[in-house]
Structure 1
Amino acid sequence: MEIVRMTREHTELLAELEKLCFARPWSQKALLDEVDNPNAYFVTAVDGDIVLGYGGMHCACKEYYMDNVAVFGHHRRKGVGSAIVEALAAEAKRRGGEFISLEVRPSNAQALRLYTRLGFAEEGRRRNFYSNPTEDALLLTRRF
């Protein structure tokens, strides 16, 4: 497995992955917009020509916000998500970031275990942040 910068060629398949993973998926156009966005850093996990998953983040004033991390179901529990999150955190730190944060559903126990294991800690809650179904978001942060 290798973590590479997301390219235009990845976006069609990643838009399909978004539909599988999220109630409000990003479109291929939204993903394409991030390829050349200087305030964004998106990566794709690949094994040769096979796309395993992806993740991305945005930066404002040395503060990094992880947007999405998604892995195709048949590639989960193989370290792909961890590798994506670690690649994003390493890039945020390399760029002089003070921290990286994200929102996650409290009901997403698998993601919560992953983020906690990778050094993220709960720093807040956003009430009714998610829809379909309505749910709070836990704000998790990893400080550098």
Structure 2
Amino acid sequence: MVEIIRFGHEHIREAAQIEALCFSDPWSEAGLELLTREEAVAFACMADGRLAAYAGMISVLDEGQIINVASHPDFQRRGFARAVLGALVDYADQNGIVTLSLEVRESNAPAISLYRSAGFVVAGQRPRYYRFPTETATVMVRTKKQITAQNQQKTGNN
């Protein structure tokens, strides 16, 4: 069984394990605690009782910064990261967050493709943003205004 639920303290240990498997500069359990704070919202995708993927953001007023999206290697390419990212986007749309932004390694083509499919566009770069190895971050944003315009183009409404 697969379900999307709110990320909580009970997911931190598994999330830290996923971080260690997926990233060269992983977040610690203490760092992942940020996803459970009041100013954060995060979702977990549970598959057969295991944490398959998670995504989280920090929001201030009408802006959200997506700070984590990851899926366990055993569950990659099965739509779980897309599901938790979608849950974040839906949350933002329903709670007055009009701009979402994130950074992604410029070499991470699968993640960039995922973000594009969710309506994000490239807004710039941050040279030497990542460590281990040093790499440029691609900055991507998704605005409610941009999504509304895209939807109007698709339906032919102006």
Match of 2:110 in 1: 110
In the alignment, structure 1 residue 27 sits paired with structure 2 residue 28 = yes
Asked which structure has the greater CA Rg, the reply is 2
Deviation per CA, 1:39-88: give whole Å up to 9, x if none: 10011100241210111000112110100111011211111011011101
- Partner secondary structure for residue 119 of structure 1: coil
Instruction: Name the CA distance, whole Å, in 2 between partners of 1:25 and 1:83.
Output: 22
Match of 2:78 in 1: 78
Change in 2 beyond 3 A, CA 1:28/1:85? same
Match of 1:129 in 2: 129
Match of 1:63 in 2: 63
Letter in 1 for 2:116: T
- Tell me how far 1:33 sits from its aligned partner: 4.0
Instruction: Name the CA distance, whole Å, in 2 between partners of 1:47 and 1:20.
Output: 18
Instruction: Name the CA distance, whole Å, in 2 between partners of 1:114 and 1:72.
Output: 16
Task: Give yes or no for contact 2:3–2:47 (8 Å, CA) kept in 1.
Answer: yes
Task: Give yes or no for contact 1:93–1:99 (8 Å, CA) kept in 2.
Answer: no
Aligned residues with identical type, % of pairs: 35
Letter in 2 for 1:112: I
Q: Which of structure 1's runs of 4+ aligned residues deviate more than 4 A?
A: none
- Tell me how far 1:4 sits from its aligned partner: 0.6
- Partner secondary structure for residue 10 of structure 2: helix
Instruction: Name the CA distance, whole Å, in 1 between partners of 2:73 and 2:126.
Output: 27
TM value normalised by structure 2:
0.86
TM value normalised by structure 1:
0.94
Match of 1:12 in 2: 13
Deviation per CA, 1:80-134: give whole Å up to 9, x if none: 0110111011111111011111101110011111111121100111111111111
Gaps of 5+ in 1: none
Instruction: Name the CA distance, whole Å, in 1 between partners of 2:50 and 2:99.
Output: 31
Instruction: Name the CA distance, whole Å, in 1 between partners of 2:106 and 2:84.
Output: 21
Instruction: Name the CA distance, whole Å, in 1 between partners of 2:51 and 2:130.
Output: 27
Match of 1:51 in 2: 51
Report how many residues are paired. Answer: 143
Gaps of 5+ in 2: 145-158
Letter in 1 for 2:115: Y
Task: Give yes or no for contact 2:34–2:40 (8 Å, CA) kept in 1.
Answer: no
Q: By percentage of residues, which structure has more helix?
A: 2
